Amino acid sequence: MHHVLKPLKTKLVLSGFVVLQIFAAAQEPVLATESTFRFTKPIDGPQLPAPISGPDANAGDPIVDDSPKTNPDYAYGAYQRGYYLTALEMALPRAEIGDPAAQTLIAELLWKGLGIARDRKKAANWYRFAAKGGGRAAQFHYGNLLLQGEFVELDLKLGEDYLRKAADAGHPRAQFNLAQIITSRRPTWSGFQSALPFYKAAAKAGIADAQYALANIYAEAKGVNFSDEEKARSWLKKSALGGLDTAQVEYGVWLANGRGGDSDKVQAQFWFTRAAVQGNVVAQNRLARIHAFADEEKVDLIQAGAWYIISRRAGFSDPELDRMFQALPEIDKKRAIEAANQLTKGLARIAKG
């Protein structure tokens, strides 16, 4: 499921190691029919990602978006440059007279322990002050805390109220979370119709999870009168470009199958690779199948075995690939295992950034 989502930095190539080239095998390569290569649709209906939750999920949002335009926010400028104590000193006088942007900034410093000791209970109080004062970023933060009962007393109604206020004020992540709450409560056509404006607003603002949700809504006609696979594919692409690995896998499947547009297996493999690099085991399995069951001249059983091993280690079961790997000569099994180990090390380096 989801990764929610802060933006993901994805490298397009597995740098730092070399994937072994295919060696001559002593047996006929395992080939497959077109139906074997064709991927089945992995989602039956809109299986939407979990709501973005907690203040840490708001990385990248302007936490002073509520400050008056006529008042340059020097405190936030200090925060951006890493002068956290200076930011705190400049924000405190404003926070004490009820400035929601300054209160939110102090909450951020306390929540993350920037320049001062981390104290999330105090941070929650500052989020509360700022939320009451109308700060939409704080309303998003505090609403999520109330919904989770984290560092504050659980209050689902009040949490949803604050999320709605933030969403109505144009906070994209709040719009997505509110849509999730609506569809979770009423997973019906009418429920999706009610949530659709919030999904659309969040998607247009660039929230990859909302774009993925819209793709599924249009594909399965949830909250809309007719399915529209061309529009669904367009939103899938946007979500994939936004770094959501689930969308990258799904988009790869649509490209491979020619769903919602022309078939493009080269681009499908590209998107499977991007998702696989992020650790998505479904994408890793798809890459194994591509290398194992491609056209005869493109079969690469060593890479197929390597990606198979990686996905198998993560618990992904594929009986057809099991048979493929067991049929390999022992020397090629060893080469595939070594390639998998090299890939795993490379993936670990990429994950560390």
Task: For the chain, give every domain's residue range.
Answer: 1-52+207-353, 55-175
Q: Encoding tokens for residue 313?
A: 């280690």
Report the phi/psi class of residue 185: left, alpha or beta, with left for phi > 0 and alpha for psi in -120 to 50. alpha
CB contact at 8 A, 210 and 203? yes
Separation between Cα atoms, residue 335 and residue 341, nearest integer Å: 10
How far out from the chain centre does Cα 178 lie? 17
Q: Encoding tokens for residue 330?
A: 């022992």
| Amino acid at site 310 | I
User: What integer pLDDT is reported at residue 51 of this predicted model?
Assistant: 52
Q: Running DSSP on this structure, what letter comes out for residue 316? A: -
Separation between Cα atoms, residue 83 and residue 173, nearest integer Å: 27
Separation between Cα atoms, residue 236 and residue 126, nearest integer Å: 38
Degrees to nearest 5, angle at CA 270 with 266 and 272: 115
User: What integer pLDDT is reported at residue 61 of this predicted model?
Assistant: 53
CB contact at 8 A, 321 and 292? yes
pLDDT digits (tens, 9 = 90+) for 181-206: 999 999 999 999 999 999 999 999 99
User: What integer pLDDT is reported at residue 351 of this predicted model?
Assistant: 83
CB contact at 8 A, 137 and 65? yes
Question: What end-to-end distance do the CA atoms of the chain give, in Å?
Answer: 21
Degrees to nearest 5, angle at CA 57 with 315 and 98: 160
The topology (CATH level 3) of 55-175 is 1.25.40
Q: In the chain, which residues have pLDDT < 70? A: 1-72
Picking from 221, 290, 218, 220, the residue whose alpha carbon sits closest to that of residue 249 is 290
Separation between Cα atoms, residue 238 and residue 200, nearest integer Å: 13
| Amino acid at site 182 | I
Helix, coil or strand: residue 150: coil
The superfamily CATH assigns to domain 1-52+207-353 is Tetratricopeptide repeat domain (1.25.40.10)
**1-52+207-353 and 55-175: same fold?**
yes
